Amino acid sequence: MKNILVTIPVNDGHRERIRGIAGGCRVDFVPRNEVTEAQVAEASVIIGNVPAKMIRASQRLELLQLESAGADAYIAPGLLSPATVLCNATGAYNRAVSEHAVALTLMLMKKLHLYRDAQRAALWTDCGSVSSPVGATVLVVGLGEIGLQYAAVMKAMGANVIGVKRRPGPCPAGIDQLVLTEEIDTVLPRADVVCSILPGTAATVHFYTPERFRLMKKSALFINCGRGNAVDSDVLLKALQEGEIAAAATDVTEREPLPGDHPLWRQENMVITPHVAGGYHLAHTHERIVDIACENLRRWMRGEEACNVVDFETGYRR
């Protein structure tokens, strides 16, 4: 009998679905913080992000279904057996993260962060002019499913949307202009909003250099809901302090948690949320993760090719 180890949060309905698909297999539901190396070693299928160090190139493991879109910790050479299929949860986070990015964009445009600060100080004050998505040029860097959904919302609100992607191809719906990553410096000076939804790869580490911030408009807004290491926190701080951009908002930082003594916390024109755009905060996300896991479990049971298979070169879905 083959073992299936499920470490994602599940309710009774989820358990019933998984057991219904996995007929003839043993299914263990174990919270991730309670899972043991022995349980990992016995599993033919794991659903959830178990600690990578526990896997140790297990020869039994046939399918590892992550609950995250990123797979950085699991693509290290030698960690997984060549026989293990690695799948991620791309598609589960589109709504949650894109809506969070839109909310941060509107917050900065309407200076709601400044009014919140004024409220805490009991100040009835006017924080000055605001901007609008209507007629704004929005640069979306990273056109995965999250980036495309963010772009669609901004387009629907009247923005002119420029998309940035690694590989050439047809211009997606909702994108007014498409440029390649190496061409980004030609469009940065035009952007009123730069929204980064970049994946975490070697090529995207410290992608936003001091030079790139200097290319942006002094009135530009910078949003990061991709990977924290796309920008050095000190570089972002300097761009804000020296007025190279008007304001920034981020859900991710290179070091998490961001140290409490870092000046970004106290920067007036900065909004920080603690990596909460994704996760299980939105019920829809939870259901989509379970849907993806159940579909791949069903395919594994039938000997069919999995969906959301990870490309080990990029760490993201092929």
Per-residue pLDDT at 34 = 97
Per-residue pLDDT at 318 = 81
- The second-level CATH assignment, the architecture, of 94-272 is 3-Layer(aba) Sandwich (3.40)
How confident is the model over 191-214, as pLDDT tens digits? Answer: 999 999 998 888 899 999 999 999
> In angstroms, what CA-CA distances link 43 with 21, 74, 298?
16, 16, 16
> In angstroms, what CA-CA distances link 243 with 30, 89, 162, 221?
50, 38, 24, 11
Q: Write the secondary structure of the chain as one string of H (helix), E (strand) and C (coil).
A: CCEEEECCCCCHHHHHHHHHHCCCCEEEECCHHHCCHHHHHHEEEEECCCCHHHCCCCCCCCEEECCCCCCHHHCCCCCCCCCCEEECCCCCCHHHHHHHHHHHHHHHHCCHHHHHHHHHCCCCCCCCCCCCCCCCEEEEECCCHHHHHHHHHHHHCCCEEEEEECCCCCCCCCCCEEEEHHHHHHHHHHCCEEEECCCCCHHHCCCCCHHHHHHCCCCCEEEECCCHHHCCHHHHHHHHHCCCCCEEEECCCCCCCCCCCCHHHHCCCEEECCCCCCCCCCHHHHHHHHHHHHHHHHHHHHCCCCCCEEECCCCEEC
How many angstroms separate the CA atoms of 86 and 308, rounded? 8
Per-residue pLDDT at 199 = 87
Task: Give strand pairing partners of 247.
Answer: 221
Per-residue pLDDT at 72 = 87
Domains 3-92+281-317 and 94-272 share a fold: yes
Please provide the CATH number assigned to the domain covering 3-92+281-317.
Answer: 3.40.50.720
What does the domain layout of the chain look like in residue ranges? 3-92+281-317, 94-272
How many angstroms separate the CA atoms of 213 and 103, rounded? 22
Look at the block and give the residue holding tokens 């997606």: 172
Contact status, residue 271 vs residue 245, Cβ threshold 8 Å? no
pTM assigned to the model: 0.94
How confident is the model over 15-66, as pLDDT tens digits? Answer: 999 999 999 999 999 999 999 999 999 999 999 999 999 999 999 999 999 9
Q: What is the mean pLDDT of each run of 10 residues along the chain (318 residues)?
A: 97 98 97 96 98 94 96 92 96 97 98 98 98 98 96 98 95 96 98 95 94 98 97 98 98 98 98 97 98 98 97 81
